[in-house]
Amino acid sequence: MKATEKHRAIFGEIRSLAEEIPWTTGVSNMLEWLTWSTNDVLGITKTRYWKLIVKLSHDPSIRNGSIEEKEAFVKARLDALIKESERSGRYDKPSSSVASPREALRRAKYFSEDYLNKEFDIFWGLVSDAYLDQYYGQFISVQPGGSWYCHGNSGLFSCSTEISVMQMDNLSYNPDRNLLVANELKLGGQKNKDQILKYALMYHLLVERGFIDKGTRFVLFFIGDKPETPDWEALIQDELEYCRASTKSTLKEAMKPECVEIASGADYVSTSWSDLYDFNELYAVGLSAETQQVELKLIRGFNEALGAKAFFRANLDARSGSAQ
């Protein structure tokens, strides 16, 4: 049995992006990320961790010691390394070293793009259809009233669709309005050199495998440190050149004419986290504290988490400095 089949047998599957995903799946997706990304738990990758233990156990001072002596030596050295790597300030620059649970949490909560992505997934899956209509409606034409279905990057998505060519961040699908928005979330990082064409390939496979309707409008929606205004068609041509120079089979698939056509026909939006924060503040003002209390708490909670991120605080400090 293939790994994807095992996953579907245990955790179930989706057969269309127009399927409601319980918000609790966002929590299990967070746990799934942690179980695979052990460096966010240990502070370093699992491979680096066991190599470190082996190296410590072969230290000249303990090489010929008993198992018990080696265990005590390794524990003492790991404890010292953990203590050395821990920071006392919330925004102190993290090191790439073995970490205590508290330090690992600090690094994830305030510095990790992946952690923010999972927070976004839970938030995006819980906000109302009216919220998404209004938010996306700032940038593209969206007829209100349709239903939105949101999917984060997870084993459920990849094993159901059997799409392994890329790791998307978040998809928002509105079958009533024939619209798919791919939310690409960034924390200061640059667009990957093959990202647009890989998204086009993903779209092509989703249509081909019946997960979205043929003819669905496709929007690539970038949220980052600041809005960008690139020449999108020029970027597609740059990606084509990059794919031509590569020997990877995935990139050969991504540069096929049908994928290039999808990329050229897509809509593109670039906005910032601070703009999303500001939108949330304005949107919350219009909510009733009595009848819309849940969404109000949801939005305020996400903004509190977003506003506490290291990159967000740094951007605020930079803006305050330039204003003086």
Residue 106 identity: R
Write out the two tokens for 141.
């034409």
**pLDDT tens digit sequence for 31-45:** 999 999 999 999 999
Percent with pLDDT over 70 in the chain: 98
Segment 139-148 shows an average pLDDT of 97
- What band does 108 get if pLDDT is binned at 50, 70 and 90? very high
Report whether pLDDT(300) > 90.
Answer: yes
Q: Is the separation of the CB atoms in 97 and 43 below 8 Å?
A: yes
- Would you state the pLDDT for residue 205? 98
DSSP string for 63-98: TTS-HHHHHHHHHHHHHHHHHHH--SSTTSPPPSS-
Mean pLDDT over each residue of the chain, to the nearest integer: 95
Segment 260-271 shows an average pLDDT of 98
Write out the two tokens for 114.
């992946």
Segment 81-88 shows an average pLDDT of 95
86 CB neighbour count, 10 Å cutoff: 18
The percent of the chain in helix, strand and coil, each rounded to the nearest 5, is 55, 10, 35
Backbone angle region of 256, left / alpha / beta, with phi > 0 → left and psi within -120 to 50 → alpha: beta
Distances (CA, A) of 62 to 51, 53, 253, 294: 16, 13, 54, 58
- Would you state the pLDDT for residue 166? 86
Report whether pLDDT(275) > 60.
Answer: yes
**pLDDT tens digit sequence for 153-165:** 999 999 999 998 8
- Would you state the pLDDT for residue 165? 85
Q: Residue 322 CA to chain centroid, in angstroms?
A: 30
- What band does 320 get if pLDDT is binned at 50, 70 and 90? low
Give the C-alpha separation, 152 to 117, whole Å: 8
Segment 6-34 shows an average pLDDT of 96
Q: Is the separation of the CB atoms in 216 and 178 below 8 Å?
A: yes
- Would you state the pLDDT for residue 324? 53
- Would you state the pLDDT for residue 39? 93
Give the C-alpha separation, 2 to 191, whole Å: 32
Domain range summary for the chain, segments of one domain joined by +: 3-36+112-276, 44-98
β-strands 217-224, 179-185: how paired? parallel
- What band does 319 get if pLDDT is binned at 50, 70 and 90? low
| Residue linked to tokens 């991504």 | 254
